[in-house]
Amino acid sequence: MNSETKYLHTIEVSKNGFYNTVSDAITRANALAKTIEMNFSNRILILINEGIYNETNGFNRKMEPCEYVDIIGKGIRENIIINGEPSQNELENDKVNGLRFEGFFLNYTCFISNITIIMKNGRYPLHIEPKNPLKNHVTHFQLYNIHLIHYGNQEALKNNSSFFSSPTALGCGMGSANIIHAKNCIFESYTGQAAGVYNNVDLLDHAEVLFEECDFITHSQEKRCLTIKSLGSGTKDIFTIKDCKFNGGIVLLSLIDTHDYDVNISDNNYLWLKSIINKTI
């Protein structure tokens, strides 16, 4: 989002309003987007009022806004809670090991601000994965003042040992010419790492990730806050960590004999002792 952003439509979500779930608002926004011409400066806004929104809408459930649909909370961040936890009935009937259940799934340019997203017994509260990662398409994901919390998958794992077992708060897959910028955010996991970022294979152009003034919090015994992983993009992808706080470690993973990303960590970060570990896979 920039100073020239114009919202062609605003869809308001409130507990007692016409749209009382975020999922319904996204469905409406995606339908509207097919009827109007949108671009980086002409977009649709979903405005969420304070409240707890339980987004339990059945199987294959995830919230996928189309390109140029922004999501902004109105009020205090911690009072705007989007709960992506599947219901007990969903868990009992799940046949694909928890891969159905996710919070936000972002494929396209999007700005998300001032909300809290929580997950338990599912995948990520917020998952970024470009639609066509190998094609050059400037996709700009902007996260500002959001709090992502994953409470773990312990209950689901008790009933199904093959349930998706990665309780990461933020999962990011990079595509060609993609940009992710997260500022003033909290990424928090109770049983796993706070965030994980990876590039994809054989990109045409480099990707960029900037974490700025963010807190990475893990409550797990492993004390891993952030993993940056290379799958062999073949480009010099750039990861920058600036003025962030970590209560655990950063792990850099790369394929053997590949050096296709640069990680820039400024001196102003607060890092756990001996926190940066390089590994090959």
62-108 per-position pLDDT tens digit: 789 999 999 999 999 999 999 988 777 777 666 555 556 788 999 99
* pLDDT bucket at 163, cuts 50 / 70 / 90: low
C-alpha torsion sign, points 114, 39, 125, 89: positive
pLDDT tens, residue by residue, 114-124: 999 999 888 89
pLDDT of residue 260: 61
Beta strands in 41-192 (DSSP E): 42-49, 51-54, 69-74, 80-83, 104-106, 110-113, 116-119, 126-128, 140-144, 147-150, 170-174, 179-183, 186-189
Beta carbons of 273 and 250 less than 8 angstroms apart: no
Distances (CA, A) of 52 to 2, 15, 22, 49, 210: 29, 8, 10, 9, 29
pTM above 0.85, yes or no: yes
Q: State how far the Cα of 187 lies from the Cα of 161, in Å rounded to an integer.
A: 26
Q: State how far the Cα of 170 lies from the Cα of 162, in Å rounded to an integer.
A: 21
Any idea how long the chain is? 281
Question: 117: Cβ–Cβ under 8 A, 6 or more apart, which residues?
Answer: 81, 82, 84, 103, 104, 125, 126, 146, 147, 148, 149
Beta carbons of 144 and 111 less than 8 angstroms apart: yes
Q: State how far the Cα of 61 lies from the Cα of 115, in Å rounded to an integer.
A: 19
Say whether pLDDT at 28 is over 50: yes
pLDDT of residue 138: 76
Residue with tokens 């970024």: 128
Percent of the chain residues past pLDDT 90, beyond the cut? 49
pLDDT of residue 162: 64
* Arithmetic mean of pLDDT, 252-279: 57
Beta carbons of 279 and 253 less than 8 angstroms apart: yes
